[in-house]
A and B are shown apart, each in its own frame.
Chain A
């Protein structure tokens, strides 16, 4: 079947045609393709972000099946980045996908993201988040951050001149590797809710539209149906 322009019919008039074109020309890097990164990547591709760089050095394992959107029984043992690329191409062949099967480190991260308009932090280690923030600031691009534990999650947006993660996690010299997620695990619907909020912030930043969670932290807790936006400064 020929798809043609109908692909984005239901985006209108929530988005304008010009905004759709802006998204089509946008370049977004997603770091971490687990519970958050899978949801973010798929939602950005469906919305029409034209260029995605998908970065993760890990392979899928059985414990990912409970929540990671790109993890199926068929891809266990397969690179998360390559599985993500395959899925995104199946959803939207008009998106140009660059799959990077490697763990980003201080030496490589800047080069991987420097040509992007935006980077999305879907990582699972607090020190790695600071490393990504450093690279995003060097590249002078905004960072959309999400983090989860159990049925709790948080989202914020960090622009290059902002204090950023220090406001949330404290000084990077005194960081734990993990938060409470090492005890709580991560639940499917929480991961996808936070990834949806991240995708929403990505679109708002790319279109310079709406209220962006800059210097604020959205906190969500699903047992109590709590959704609160807190001022960080």
Chain B
């Protein structure tokens, strides 16, 4: 399968899971957000919001070359 590159950003408690080369992160073409979350071994329920290129998406989104993916945990404190 062809390889593509995305920009990956993990916020707050997800940051320790950030891989090397997150700014130019290589994945297999056709990878979904859920597959990437699994590959990165993020804890279950750790991701609450998925943003691709500044817009909210679901885990089923298939990543495209050059996408800017941001994963954000649930935040509820006051």
Q: Tell me the A residues contacting B by CB distance below 8 Å.
A: 32, 34-37, 121-126, 129, 146-154, 167-170, 176, 178-181, 183-184, 186, 217, 219, 221, 223-224, 226, 228-233
Contact = CB atoms under 8 A, between A and B. Distances in A.
Q: Which 5 A-B pairs have the closest CB atoms?
A: A181-B77, A179-B76, A179-B74, A124-B78, A152-B12
A123 B78 contact: yes
Give the size range of B's interface with the partner. Answer: 20 to 34
21 contacts: A35-B78, A129-B76, A148-B77, A149-B75, A149-B76, A150-B13, A152-B11, A154-B75, A169-B76, A170-B48, A176-B74, A179-B48, A180-B12, A180-B13, A180-B74, A181-B75, A181-B77, A183-B13, A226-B11, A228-B70, A230-B51
Nearest to B45: A176
B56 interface: yes
Instruction: State the majority secondary structure of interface residues on A.
Output: mixed
Looking at B13, B49, B55, B76, the one whose CB has the most chain A CB atoms below 10 A away is B76
A149 B77 contact: yes
B56 A126 contact: no
Interface string B45-71: 100110100111000000000000010
Contacts of B45: 176
A32 B77 CA distance: 11
B45 to A, nearest CB: 7
A110 B26 CA distance: 51
Contacts of A150: 12-13
A123 B43 CA distance: 26
A186 B74 contact: no
B36 interface: no
